[in-house]
Amino acid sequence: MRMSVGVDLHKSQFTVYWRSDDGITGRHERYGTTQDGYRRFEMAVQSVMETGTAVEVAVESTGNTRYFKQRLERCGVPVRVVNTAKFKVVTESVKKTDRHDAATLAEFLEKDMLPEAHLCSPESEELRRVIKTRKTLVETIVTVKNQLHGLLLSLGIESKRGQLQSARERRRVKSVLAAHHVAGNAVEPLFETIDRLSAEVKTLDRVIAEMTEDDEVVQLIKTIPGAGLITAATIRAFTDDISRYPTAGKYAAYAGLVPWVQNSNETIHHGRITKRGPVELRTALVQVVLGMVRVRRRTGTYRIIQRYDRMKRIKGSGRSIIATARQLSEIIYRMLTDGVPFDEMKMVDPVIHRKVVEMQAAAYDVAS
């Protein structure tokens, strides 16, 4: 006998539906997401397993799914994590209740018709947490800086975008505000907040560097001109295992960089990019593209940058950056799949590449 268990998991409680394959109507139960609640559910599962019944559990992907899954797997219970983006039966159900959702999960689990979600490795999960914390701090710093820029503007003082980047510039701005008789009580906390959070960001940068010091994926991505530690670590954390993606196109789709496609009869429509998948990964790929554009003196001969320049003149910078980010994701896919660093020679025009090879050969002949 087999027991299919659907779990509708929430922050404070979870609803369970037990569905057996013997035709007997199932039953609902509710547990709290406390140590006692988890323990009572585990005891209920173990009591069913002791009768010789195989138990399998299905649960939607939420914030506490990993913890729930790990607890049950330690008890020897297989757990399927459901991809809610692909399981519209629950997300778009007319009857949206916890009891109904749990029963639906159990029913489709019994029929083996559930789309599964992938949980990243614990190492990637920890790296993601640190990166998200750093992002929160950086966004807070930007908010405070914008407030100071607004204050300067209200006094008729023109301020530049990067004027508050360094501690020296912040001290100069503070003296300017003092000269305009702006009370220190109004601005001093803002400057102290920037200094304190900037120090915390530098600390997290060191933590990320230590966490990825021996990470081969991060070292490979950093060989791309314009890719720094944070962008490389972000791509590594939100990619997790590159072998999960059978093709470069699948990886680009995971990053949300492919367009919507609607195909009906003989009509095909392509829309904007899907923006599905981790926004952090998509943003990191865009940042690498912008980094490559900034170091144009080195990357100007790359086909990917030349294509970006041509597209920019026709479609503008926004679409061009996204299209280049998708192409870059395919390059990164091949790099990580083959375990090879970025090869600048493969990026240049074949004619230029041949000339470089000939010049290198001639230089070698002269040296020998």
Q: Which amino acid is located at 110 in the chain?
A: E
Query: Which residues neighbour 54 within 8 Å (Cβ) at sequence distance 6 or greater?
Result: 1, 2, 3
CA diameter of the chain = 87
Look at residues 312, 346, 321, 310 and name the one whose alpha carbon lies nearest to residue 331. Answer: 346
Give the pLDDT of residue 345. Answer: 85
Structure tokens at 59: 């649960």
310-345: string of b/e by CB count within 10 Å (b at 16+)? ebbeeeeeeebbbbbbbbbbebbbebbeeeeebebe
Percentages helix, strand, coil for the chain, rounded to the nearest 5?
60, 15, 25
Q: What are phi and psi of 119, to 5 degrees?
A: -100, 130
Rounded Cα–Cα distance for residues 310 and 205 (Å):
36
| Residue 4, SS3 per DSSP | strand
Look at residues 259, 247, 252, 308 and name the one whose alpha carbon lies nearest to residue 282. Answer: 252
Q: Quote the strand ranges of the chain, DSSP E.
A: 2-9, 13-20, 27-32, 54-60, 79-82, 259-264, 267-273
Q: CA angle, 286 as apex, 284 and 291 as ends, to 5°? A: 95
Rounded Cα–Cα distance for residues 159 and 149 (Å):
6
CB 224 within 8 A of CB 342: yes
Q: Which amino acid is located at 365 in the chain?
A: D
Rounded Cα–Cα distance for residues 348 and 262 (Å):
35
Give the pLDDT of residue 368. Answer: 60
Look at residues 293, 365, 363, 279 and name the one whose alpha carbon lies nearest to residue 328. Answer: 293
Rounded Cα–Cα distance for residues 343 and 224 (Å):
8
Looking at the whole model, is its pTM more than 0.85?
Answer: no
Q: What are the pLDDT tens digits along the chain (368 aa)?
A: 899 999 999 999 999 999 988 766 689 999 999 999 999 999 999 999 999 999 999 999 888 999 999 999 999 999 999 988 778 766 566 567 999 999 999 999 999 889 888 889 999 999 999 999 999 999 999 999 998 888 888 888 777 877 788 888 888 888 888 887 776 677 888 888 999 999 999 999 999 999 999 999 999 999 999 999 999 999 999 999 999 999 999 999 999 988 765 555 555 555 577 777 899 999 999 999 999 999 988 898 899 999 999 999 998 989 999 999 999 999 999 999 999 999 988 888 766 656 656 666 676 666 66
Look at residues 38, 41, 18, 43 and name the one whose alpha carbon lies nearest to residue 28. Answer: 18
Q: CA angle, 200 as apex, 199 and 203 as ends, to 5°? A: 90
Rounded Cα–Cα distance for residues 225 and 294 (Å):
10
Rounded Cα–Cα distance for residues 24 and 107 (Å):
13
Give the pLDDT of residue 165. Answer: 82
Query: Which residues neighbour 89 within 8 Å (Cβ) at sequence distance 6 or greater?
Result: 104, 108
Give the pLDDT of residue 23. Answer: 61
DSSP one-letter string for 266-277: TEEEEEEE---S
Rounded Cα–Cα distance for residues 281 and 180 (Å):
44
